[in-house]
């Protein structure tokens, strides 16, 4: 681990697959929901660290299109945590962080984001729109396969489907390519997350579960793009 904070020479895009909340809780004989709560708190801590580094974009995998099959009580708890996350407007404004969301469009027949979470998302985006610092993107009800199908369908309505057309029709085409993709909790895979945007990116795997991913771990990931 680096002994000093790492500040890459350019603004970078860090994307995180926040895995291991449940295992973190199980090791402490706690309910899985406690792991998700600690994971949300750790995201808030990491945002504060990232704004001190030269991180221009932080994108996190909050809830995937596959996660809806989890136990109902666990899903309800995670939904409440995301409502809380998008409600941290005062803190985000203090840090000059602009928040945004990507996932299945709310008007899509397949979308499953509840209305109360939709309202929290829209409000957070509106209330932080004037901030000029780091961009925090939360992927919620998100899957890369769903995103690419959506992009291909939209592109086909506009003309020839090529790489540029797909790129223009991603959920957030303004997001730059991922510089380093982080996967926590010892899983050596990238899941269904930003497959298009992370092509060619560095990948940082760590044994630590997401609630323990700290400043030293972020610095180790940033070393890959110095």
Residues forming the active site: 19, 67
Task: Provide the 10 A C-beta neighbour count for residue 173.
Answer: 11
Calculate helix-pair angle for 215-222, 32-50, nearest 10 degrees.
Answer: 60
Distance CA 164, CA 183 (A): 28
Comparing CA positions, the residue from 222, 224, 226, 207 lying closest to residue 50 is 222
Q: Which residues contact 73 (CB under 8 A, 6 or more apart)?
A: 33
Other CB atoms within a 10 A radius of the CB of residue 69 amount to: 7
């Amino acid at each position: 681990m680096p002994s000093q904070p790492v500040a890459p020479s350019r603004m970078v895009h860090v994307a995180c697959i926040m895995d291991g909340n449940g295992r973190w809780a199980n090791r402490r004989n706690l309910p899985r929901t406690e792991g998700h709560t600690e994971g949300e708190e750790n995201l808030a801590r990491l945002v504060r660290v990232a704004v001190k580094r030269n991180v221009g974009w932080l994108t996190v995998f909050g809830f995937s299109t596959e996660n809806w099959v989890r136990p109902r009580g666990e899903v309800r708890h995670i939904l409440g945590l995301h409502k809380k996350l998008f409600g941290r407007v005062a803190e985000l404004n203090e840090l000059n962080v602009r928040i945004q969301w990507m996932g299945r469009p709310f008007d899509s027949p397949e979308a499953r984001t509840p209305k109360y979470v939709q309202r929290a998302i829209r409000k957070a985006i509106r209330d932080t729109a004037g901030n000029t610092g780091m961009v925090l993107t939360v992927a919620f009800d998100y899957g890369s396969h769903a995103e690419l199908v959506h992009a291909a369908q939209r592109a086909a309505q506009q003309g020839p489907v090529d790489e540029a057309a797909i790129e223009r029709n991603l959920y957030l085409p303004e997001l730059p390519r991922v510089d380093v993709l982080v996967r926590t909790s010892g899983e050596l895979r990238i899941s269904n997350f930003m497959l298009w945007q992370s092509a060619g990116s560095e990948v940082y795997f760590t044994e630590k579960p997401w609630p323990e991913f700290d400043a030293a771990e972020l610095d180790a990931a940033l070393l890959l793009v110095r």
